[in-house]
Chains A and B, each alone.
Chain A
Amino acid sequence: MEINKDLENSLRRLELLNQVAKDITSTLGLEPRLGFVCQSIIDIMGVKGVSIRLLDQKTNRLELAFACGLSEEYVHKGPVEADKSLAKALEGTPHFVSDAPNDPGIQYPEEARREGLVSVLSLPLKGRTKVIGTLRLYTGEKRSFTRDEIDFLSALAAQGAISLENARSYDALEQQDKAKSDFIMMMTHELKAPLMAVQGLLDVMQKGYVGPLTEKQKELIGRIYRRIDSLTEVSTDLLDIYEWQTKRPDTQSIPLSMNVQIQRAVDLFKTSALEKGLAMDVDLPDQDLILMGSEDEVEKILNNLITNAIKYTPKGGNISLALSASGGSVVFMIKDTGIGINDEDIPKVFDDFFRSKGAKKIDPYGKGLGLPFVKQIVEGLGGTIRVKSEEGKGAEFILSFPPSDGFSTHE
């Protein structure tokens, strides 16, 4: 029996080590991972509590990263300095205190007594180049740890430290990315104000309020307008993308009828398609197909794809939209008989700022931000987008969204 129990325990230790090793490359939130590790240590080692603290280089204090099995009051008892026991751990060696409430090497002995803590084992969290913090185990009764146990915990702490370092670099990258987006956003705003001022002054000239214009002047003003419009467009696109990225985490997903959304978009664009001499047909199923998302996002997707289809399909062409359910997924297709995309360019159409030769010919001022944005939104909604096309014959975009729980179809 005893042997079985030992074996089982060893197996659990190995499993935990394995899990923590796997976590090293994970970009999941740190909290749930630390929680898992702390709880596993409590279960396997049979201790009362576990804390993980990281060393703040500036203050030389140990800041709490995670704790379990300990009361809020104890965890937040005050700033934690490296007491004798923690100092040892920070130097790289595990340190054991058998009677914490009566040990002069412990910073908060009174609090430890009140919490019912007796023995404390402190281990270093060794990162790639230095010790980054400590792992502490607290017991509720006097006990010691075997060499094996300490070896296991040291290995675990080392794996965990690398995982923590990775998470920190990931956070730093995310922050850099955010700083970059914020900067683009600010720049874009700064660009928009002068653009509007230029447009206002041009308007005044074009209206003839400051004297009549020659034909040549009118033509040049027309050109300036076009360039300003394209700049305004790109700022608007960038702001849209930025706004979506920053708002995305707080966006409420609601069940949306794709039938209704598509019909609404078609109604919105029908006139401009007709004016250009394009036929537009839409094939919707009788049953409502539901997508979990926000109206704003679905609108952006549809408006972008339909605008493109209209823009790149010559007069006399046809645009067809279809919605269907396939294997539980909601599938939306939009197909045009436009200029299409050549094979070489197909893999690039979702790249930022990419524009195919054909597209440039039709709209020299486009910026190539629309499709990448659509792809981001579609993927944000858990879907996929792909394109099929033959140059000169048209393009087809196929969007597929996974069934949303309980809402895949609606009567």
Chain B
Amino acid sequence: MDKPKILIIDDDPDLVESMQITLEANDYQVESAYNGTEGLRLVKEINPDLIILDVMMDSITEGFQVSYQLRSPDPQSPYRDYANIPILMVTGVSQKMHMKFSPETDEDYLPVDELVEKPIQLDALLEKVGKLIKKG
């Protein structure tokens, strides 16, 4: 069986590197993109089993916009075939405090399946990734 494919969309190359090494060491295939546009292109190209998405990239909310595009309810959406890919969102604590969202209570507002806070604890990351991929 093929290893599950994960796409990391994050503009910090060092954070990407640490997540990538960790995930690859735990039998996942990893591709990465350093901005939202590149990320969306790769979603179509590789059709990943999971997307790890950073909130703040070129703009403060780029990650949100990427998630809205992927989960757009519009039947004409170019991403309609990818709307079911689970999304794990990486947030800074302060962002989380200001946004007051959580996947359980604000699902309409923020269409992601799970959050992981920075600084990322690798064990927590692996656990969440495992759960989402099994589910998906």
Which residues of A does B touch, CB under 8 Å? 189, 192-193, 195-201, 203-204, 207, 209-210, 232, 239
B22 adjacent to A204 (CB under 8 Å): yes
Q: Which residues of B contact A207 (CB under 8 A)?
A: 22, 25, 122
Q: Select one of A193, A197, A209 contacting B22, CB under 8 A.
A: A209
What is the CA–CA distance of A204 and B121 in the complex, to the nearest angstrom? 10
Shortest Cβ distance from B96 into chain A, in angstroms? 13
B12 adjacent to A193 (CB under 8 Å): yes
B120 adjacent to A200 (CB under 8 Å): yes
- Counting CB contacts under 8 A, is B131 at the interface? no
* Interface residues as binary, B66-103 with A (CB distance below 8 Å gives 1, 0 otherwise): 00000000000000000000000000101000000000
Q: Which residues of B contact A195 (CB under 8 A)?
A: 119
What is the CA–CA distance of A201 and B18 in the complex, to the nearest angstrom? 5
Which residues of B does A touch, CB under 8 Å? 12, 14-15, 17-19, 21-22, 25, 92, 94, 118-122
A196 adjacent to B122 (CB under 8 Å): no
B122 adjacent to A197 (CB under 8 Å): no
B17 adjacent to A201 (CB under 8 Å): yes
* 5 additional A-B residue pairs with CB within 8 Å, beyond A196-B15, A203-B22: A196-B120, A197-B14, A200-B15, A201-B14, A204-B22
B22 adjacent to A199 (CB under 8 Å): no
B118 adjacent to A203 (CB under 8 Å): no
What is the CA–CA distance of A232 and B92 in the complex, to the nearest angstrom? 13
13 contacts between A and B (CB under 8 A): A189-B94, A197-B14, A200-B14, A200-B17, A200-B18, A200-B119, A201-B14, A201-B17, A203-B122, A204-B17, A204-B18, A207-B122, A209-B22
Shortest Cβ distance from A20 into chain B, in angstroms? 44
By beta carbon, the residue of chain A nearest B24 is A209
Q: Which residues of B contact A204 (CB under 8 A)?
A: 17-18, 21-22, 122
Shortest Cβ distance from A106 into chain B, in angstroms? 53
By beta carbon, the residue of chain A nearest B119 is A196
With A204-B21, A207-B22, A209-B21: A197-B94 Cβ-Cβ less than 8 Å: no
By beta carbon, the residue of chain A nearest B11 is A193
Which of B19, B119, B121, B122 has the most chain A CB atoms closer than 10 A to its own CB? B119
With A201-B14, A239-B94: A210-B119 Cβ-Cβ less than 8 Å: no
By beta carbon, the residue of chain B nearest A228 is B119
Shortest Cβ distance from A237 into chain B, in angstroms? 13
What is the CA–CA distance of A197 and B18 in the complex, to the nearest angstrom? 8
With A203-B122, A204-B122, A239-B94: A197-B25 Cβ-Cβ less than 8 Å: no
What is the CA–CA distance of A374 and B18 in the complex, to the nearest angstrom? 37
Q: Which residues of B contact A210 (CB under 8 A)?
A: 21
A197 adjacent to B12 (CB under 8 Å): yes
Shortest Cβ distance from A319 into chain B, in angstroms? 28
Q: Which residues of B contact A239 (CB under 8 A)?
A: 94
With A204-B21, A204-B22, A209-B22: A199-B12 Cβ-Cβ less than 8 Å: no
Shortest Cβ distance from A380 into chain B, in angstroms? 20
Q: Which residues of B contact A209 (CB under 8 A)?
A: 21-22, 25
Which of B18, B120, B122 has the most chain A CB atoms closer than 10 A to its own CB? B18
What is the CA–CA distance of A76 and B14 in the complex, to the nearest angstrom? 57
What is the CA–CA distance of A198 and B120 in the complex, to the nearest angstrom? 11
Q: Which residues of A contact B120 (CB under 8 A)?
A: 196, 200, 203
Q: Which residues of A contact B25 (CB under 8 A)?
A: 207, 209
